[in-house]
Amino acid sequence: MSASLSDFSAHVLRAELRAGTLSAREVTEHFLDRIAERADLGAFITITAEQARAAAAAADERFAATPAAERGRLPALHGIPLAHKDLTDVGGAPTTHGSAALPHTVAQADAPGVHTLRGAGAISLGKTQVPEFGLTGYSENLIAPPARNPLDPERTAGGSSGGSAAAVAAGLLPFAPGSDGGGSIRIPALACGLVGLKPGLGAIPSDVTRGVRDEFGAPRLTVTGPIAHTAQDAALLFDAMRGSGKAGSIEPAVTAVARAESLRGLRVGISDASPFASAYPTPLSPEARAAHERAAQLLSGLGHVVEDAAIHYDPIYPQAFTRAWTAGLSLLELPAGGAERLTPLTRLFRERALARSAEDHAVAAAQLHAFAAHARAQWARYDVVLTPGLAMLPPRIGAFTALSPDDDYQLQCEWAPYTSMVNVSGLPAIAVPILTTEAGHSFGVQLIGRPGTEETLLQLAAQLLAS
């Protein structure tokens, strides 16, 4: 059976583990072997094999000590492997932040989100590849090989959750948690043909432990969410990430997806307007446009009311977002000589952030709050807004870093012109694969929801994937 474990959904793995057909040790060893076999993808920075084996042994001991009649009450992710981005602390493993500029200190404790998933029974296999400090939409840095796209290894897997998406797409993990500050879940999910849910700010409690505004008063951009092959598996991980993974807990997203076929009559607004258009006009590739049009047709056929949406964005957005996105670099404390070990993009944007005054940061923050209010008001005319996903094929490995930092950033905005605005708004959004080209590349779409509609977005993803 182990030869086919990578083809099992997380839901099937869960059922087999709870039935005792599979042991946590067997599952863990299978995925550790798969990770070793596909080291060429650069999905992992660190593999924590011995810690994973110890956790699997403990999971099997727990299973053996649980009466058969009570095994349905085991933690939601009992014995299921996953991995965490190397931007977050996992106790006993080094945290690199994808950077050569900082010491790679072994974390003494789990970050809150990691602690939640460990409590839900998940077994961490290691730390996945990220860009330096999670800044870019591709996962290349100066400390480890780049994360390659399993659909076309000459191309990027996206970022900043690129290592995680590559691992899931290649069957090295059944699913994975990601984080998203400007598209970092949705970009790699779209690039690798996966489902990626960016929850609304606050949907996962550990995302707002530091408040809903950043240190400069701008909207807090980064949230955590699942990357998976199916809406059902994304729902399972999402429920666990928000604390519904304890024994006997209700799983609202899983329940919602199970009845996805009953969802009808949503008002869906279609738009290909991008807030970056004032700075970086971005024509959609034929494949990106075809995926957008196909998704609209499918949603109409599923009984939803689909109509064109006249949406317009303030042209100040590119400047305001760029300043807010990089403002935190001004708070970065580096050891002696650390600045020289930053990537060129990080170094330049840090220098610019340091040169701006507190008033400059406050102005950008205010501009983003105004943008968010205006965008939410326009999107609120619909239950869901449907945008394209990525505008073109994933660029080749090295294509971004071969450019100057400003041209690198421009290419990122042109490739992913629809994602960051949702972070600024604080609303949920989901990336869904729609079509596969003859060459095997995936193109998908983004669905933006109203506050608190993560379950609805997962239902829509399930409907689209089943169509």
Quick check: 217 and 367 in contact, CB under 8 A? no
Distance CA 237, CA 43 (A): 20
Instruction: Supply 112's token pair.
Output: 């809150």
Give the full edge-to-edge strand order of the sheet including 175-180: 175-180, 223-228, 195-198, 429-436, 442-449, 384-388, 267-270, 305-308
CA dihedral 240, 458, 228, 242 (to 10 degrees): -20
Distance CA 332, CA 312 (A): 35
Instruction: Supply 135's token pair.
Output: 């800044």
Distance CA 317, CA 185 (A): 21
- Give the containing element (helix H, strand E) for 395: none
Which one from 179, 184, 274, 420 is the annotated catalytic residue? 184
Give the three-state DSSP class for 209.
coil
The answer to whether 85 is a known catalytic residue is yes
Cα 73 to Cα 17, 22, 70, 156, 242, distances in angstroms: 12, 17, 6, 40, 18
- Give the containing element (helix H, strand E) for 179: strand 175-180
Which one from 85, 99, 161, 274 is the annotated catalytic residue? 85
Distance CA 266, CA 263 (A): 8
Distance CA 75, CA 232 (A): 17
Whether cis (ω within 30° of 0) applies to the bond prior to 160 is: yes
- Give the containing element (helix H, strand E) for 288: helix 286-301
The answer to whether 184 is a known catalytic residue is yes
Q: How far is CA 78 from its chain centroid?
A: 22
Quick check: 72 and 156 in contact, CB under 8 A? no
Distance CA 220, CA 202 (A): 10
Distance CA 406, CA 382 (A): 35
Which one from 160, 179, 274, 330 is the annotated catalytic residue? 160
| Eight-state DSSP code of residue 106 | B
Which residues are the active-site residues? 85, 160, 184
